């Protein structure tokens, strides 16, 4: 079936820098570096073979029986900056789940809005000439795929595929849980050199309209534009971004220590910040994404699923896990998570305990957030 879904907005080459900045901030350190995806998308938009824009549609405008699939890149962000994708891995994965299921996908949705995975779905949409849903499955980035709202709220783990830069393709079928799909696809991604392009699962428009985090593509673009505008006008870009997100300042300081290693396909570690003018400290632990922020008296300031965003102190640009280095001057923001991430069923999968911390989730005060 082919649907004519109303257009909410058009994403063109002029939106990409702002989207990359906003998605980098929402990526909480992970989701991959948006810069590589942005360059890929620019190349596509400039290529005559492909359209020069992508149609953005509202989740509320999806026909109930439209077929929607999520695409993106899987792997440690530390690897994706050294091992560049070929560019068609997730597109090929989309075609694989179509061919193996016999279904035709009507729209693409980002699995996570954070980082490069904001750009990858737009690339696939341009290559497949499909609209992109203004929303995603995380409202940020998370390290594991069962952490998508799609799976938290009961999408069957039907067809999934991962493809590497050589075209090697692995398809998953009748998988009995999203966590098992995560384990299988992660093991394959490690074998594929630490990065693969994925597509999964097949969902209906009705499901997406209920369980996607809405309007995060627009939000990320608006966030990027807000930061850019403040920068141009000589205002504080960090403050402008924070206000748009309804977040709070957790810390201002410089990076004094980074522990980071690749383990089981993830970038694991911690970063320690020190105050600019005093001895105050902040330690942030991460698994691809920033998970927990602790003050020097061991007081926990923020935990998943709330967002911990590290941004450059002067420019407001996001600082990803892979780019953390000694001496950087940064600010750390805490942003309340979207409500779909804070229900009891969501906290089972993405709360601090799901990451091995014996901590209850203490929500940040919820201001006027963008979602």
Which part of the chain contacts its own copies (CB under 8 A), choosing from 2-10, 79-87, 168-176, 307-315? 168-176
315 touches its own copies by CB under 8 A: no
| Closest CB 346 distance from its own copies, rounded Å | 25
CB 190 → its own copies: shortest distance, Å? 7
State which of positions 78-137 bind its own copies (CB under 8 A): 96, 100
Query: Token pair of 255, please?
Result: 């990076």
Which residues, including other chains, have CB under 8 Å from residue 32's CB and lie 6 or more apart? 73, 75, 77, 80, 115, 116, 117, 120
297 binds its own copies (CB under 8 A): no
On whether the CB atoms of residues 105 and 65 are closer than 8 A, the answer is no
The dihedral over CA atoms of 14, 142, 127, 184, expressed in degrees to the nearest 10, equals: 170
Q: Coil, strand, or helix at residue 111? A: coil
Task: Please tell me whether residue 23 binds its own copies under the rule CB under 8 A.
Answer: no
Q: Which of 167, 356, 363, 367 binds its own copies (CB under 8 A)?
A: 167
Question: What is the rounded end-to-end Cα distance, in angstroms, of the chain?
Answer: 31
306, two tokens: 């709330």
Q: What is the DSSP code (8-state) at residue 134?
A: S
The stretch near its own copies (CB under 8 A) out of 45-53, 186-194, 218-226, 337-345 is 186-194
Stretch that binds its own copies, among 37-45, 54-62, 187-195, 291-299 (CB under 8 A): 187-195
- Cα 173 from Cα 179, distance rounded (Å): 14
- Could you say whether residue 158 binds its own copies (CB under 8 A)? no
The answer for 168, left when phi > 0, alpha when psi is -120 to 50, beta otherwise, is: beta
Per the CB < 8 A criterion, the answer to whether 369 and 245 are in contact is: yes
Q: What is the largest CA-CA distance in the chain?
A: 63
Number of residues that bind its own copies (CB under 8 A): 21
Nearest residue (CB) to its own copies, 116 versus 190: 190
Query: Minimum CB separation from its own copies for residue 192, in Å?
Result: 8
Choices 106-114, 190-198, 290-298, 311-319 (CB under 8 A): range interacting with its own copies: 190-198
Binding site for its own copies (CB under 8 A): 96, 100, 166-176, 180, 183-184, 187-188, 190-192
């Amino acid at each position: 079936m082919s649907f004519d879904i109303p257009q909410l907005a058009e994403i063109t080459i002029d939106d990409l820098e702002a989207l990359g900045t906003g998605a980098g901030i929402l990526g909480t350190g992970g989701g991959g570096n948006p810069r590589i995806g942005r360059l890929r998308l620019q190349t596509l938009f400039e290529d005559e073979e492909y359209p020069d824009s992508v149609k953005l549609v509202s989740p509320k405008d999806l026909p109930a029986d439209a077929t929607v699939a999520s695409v993106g890149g899987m792997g440690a962000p530390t690897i994706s900056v050294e091992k560049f994708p070929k560019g068609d891995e997730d597109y090929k994965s989309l075609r694989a789940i179509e061919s193996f299921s016999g279904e035709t996908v009507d729209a693409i949705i980002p699995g996570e809005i954070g980082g490069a995975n904001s750009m990858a779905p737009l690339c696939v949409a341009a290559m497949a000439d499909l609209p992109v849903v203004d929303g995603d499955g995380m409202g940020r980035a998370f390290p594991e795929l069962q952490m998508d709202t799609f799976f938290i709220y009961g999408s069957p783990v039907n067809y999934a595929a991962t493809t590497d830069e050589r075209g090697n393709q692995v398809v998953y079928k009748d998988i009995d849980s999203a966590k098992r799909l995560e384990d299988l696809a992660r093991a394959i991604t490690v074998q594929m050199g630490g990065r693969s392009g994925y597509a999964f699962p097949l969902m209906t428009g009705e499901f997406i309209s209920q369980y996607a985090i809405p309007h995060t593509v627009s939000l990320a673009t608006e966030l990027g534009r807000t930061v850019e505008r403040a920068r141009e006008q000589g205002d504080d870009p960090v403050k402008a971004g924070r206000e748009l997100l309804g977040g709070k300042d957790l810390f201002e300081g410089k990076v004094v220590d980074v522990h980071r290693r690749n383990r089981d396909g993830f970038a694991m570690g911690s970063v320690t910040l020190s105050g600019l003018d005093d001895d105050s400290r902040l330690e942030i632990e991460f698994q691809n994404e920033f998970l927990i922020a602790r003050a020097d008296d061991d007081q926990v300031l923020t935990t998943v699923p709330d967002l911990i965003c590290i941004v450059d102190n002067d420019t407001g640009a996001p600082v990803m896990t892979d780019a953390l280095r000694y001496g950087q001057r940064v600010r750390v923001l805490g942003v309340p998570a979207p409500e779909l991430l804070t229900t009891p069923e969501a906290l089972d999968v993405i709360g601090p305990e799901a990451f091995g911390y014996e901590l209850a989730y203490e929500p940040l005060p919820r201001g006027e957030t963008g979602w």
